[in-house]
Amino acid sequence: MGMLDWLKGGKTLYFPGKLTKEELPQIFENYKEIFNKLDINFVLLPKEDTGCGMDELIAGYKKEARKIAKKNFKLFKDNSIDKIITNSPESYYMFKEIYPTLIPEWDIGVEHVTVTILNALKKKGIRKGWLDEAEGEEVTYQDPCYLGRHSGIYEEPREAIQILGGKIKEPKLNRESSICCGACGGVYHNFPKLAKKMAEKRVTQFPAEAKIIIPSDICYLNLKEVTERSTEFSTFVLNKLNDLKI
């Protein structure tokens, strides 16, 4: 956290979400290291045990989701949070689109980590074409449902991947037409066989020449069940930053 931010009184919170903290602890560590390498100021809350409320909402418990939202809002305000960065597509959508409908006074900015990282790379003067084309590797990208179709974020993660040397080979169905990997909406945890079957189908649609598939969060969890090519977004980014000594 920069001194100027402290003086202004506003802080930027990194909110990993329950899935990342409980099931993907290495991804949680990856993002903290990436933020430090790219000079992205952030704070962590000393305790985060409620999640964002998305699980409750999609299960039909709107009153419980509202209760969680209000609890989080108070927690954020008590800690002078005026901006949230999250790597969770579900949490991003929840904070950005749903919280304003549950809490009329909601006034906290929200940014998905792919946008944060892209902006930080550009701030450092790192842009497309800075690497020799021969240095890149062929990869492909999975559009998370809540980040893509629900939130309209398609190009930022792709641009960040390309800046770091990834030569993206798109599956036939991508962006607005992308097919769900089978993980979100509670399917991964409640119907694992169905989630795996959908992941198997999705993997067949990715270009064979792509050495790795880059999903994020729960999409990574599901796809790695059926292919070794699944590499979480943060792992790709951190590996490249380390290779390039950034």
Q: Which fold has domain 3-116?
A: Rossmann fold (3.40.50)
Rg over alpha carbons for the chain, rounded to the nearest Å, is 18
Note the helical H segments in 59-179: 62-78, 89-93, 99-102, 113-123, 155-163
* Sequence-ordered list of residues with C-beta below 8 angstroms from that of 182, at least 6 positions apart, any chain: 188, 194, 195, 196, 197, 198, 199, 201, 202, 222
pLDDT tens track for 144-198: 988 878 888 999 999 999 999 999 999 889 998 888 888 777 787 888 899 899 9
Question: How many CA atoms does the CB half-sphere of 129 hold within 13 Å?
Answer: 0
pLDDT tens track for 55-67: 899 889 999 999 9
> Of the candidates 229, 146, 214, 135, which has an alpha carbon nearest to the alpha carbon of residue 180?
146
In terms of Cβ atoms closer than 10 Å to its own Cβ (0-12, 13-18, 19+), residue 2 is exposed
Asked if pLDDT for residue 4 goes beyond 60, the answer is no
* Residue 11: strand pairing partners: 81
Q: Where are the domains of the chain?
A: 3-116, 127-243
Asked if pLDDT for residue 201 goes beyond 80, the answer is yes
pLDDT tens track for 97-154: 999 999 999 999 999 999 999 999 999 887 765 555 546 789 999 999 888 788 889 9
> Of the candidates 38, 63, 107, which has an alpha carbon nearest to the alpha carbon of residue 246?
38
Q: What pLDDT was estimated at residue 133?
A: 52
Q: What is the pTM of this model?
A: 0.90
Q: What are phi and psi of 82, to 5 degrees?
A: -120, 0
